[in-house]
């Protein structure tokens, strides 16, 4: 995994620990919600970055490859990722 992606995930983890601390200290509800939204946005950004990396590596390799089953598999995975994202 790319170093920048790991760095972003560690930042999000730290932010989440801060939110947990806020909840333990009975912080104002709207402040908690805003912080949760910030973490969600950061995770969405990281997820998009990972997906872009995947598309530019694994998916391109599979599409250019000789194995039609592998092409179908990676395309199905991408479809499933988007389907799951739309359920959330």
pLDDT at 75 over 80: yes
Q: Which two tokens stand for residue 39?
A: 């973490």
Provide the whole-model pTM: 0.83
At 15, is the pLDDT very low, low, confident or very high (cuts 50, 70, 90)?
very high
For the chain, domains (ranges, CATH) are 3-87 (1.20.58.1000)
Rg (CA), the chain: 18
DSSP assignment of 70-84 equals: HHHHHHHHHHHHHHH
- Contact (Cβ atoms closer than 8 angstroms) between residue 36 and residue 19: yes
Say what the pLDDT of residue 82 is. Answer: 87
Mean pLDDT, range 59-87, rounded to an integer: 91
């Amino acid at each position: 995994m790319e170093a920048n992606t790991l760095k972003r995930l560690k930042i999000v983890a730290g932010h989440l620990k801060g939110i947990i601390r806020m909840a333990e200290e009975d912080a104002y509800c709207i402040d908690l919600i805003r912080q949760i939204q910030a973490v969600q946005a950061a995770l969405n950004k990281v997820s998009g970055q990972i997906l872009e990396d995947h598309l530019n590596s694994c998916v391109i390799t599979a599409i250019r490859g000789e194995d039609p089953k592998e092409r179908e598999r990676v395309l199905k995975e991408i479809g499933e990722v988007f389907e799951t994202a739309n359920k959330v």
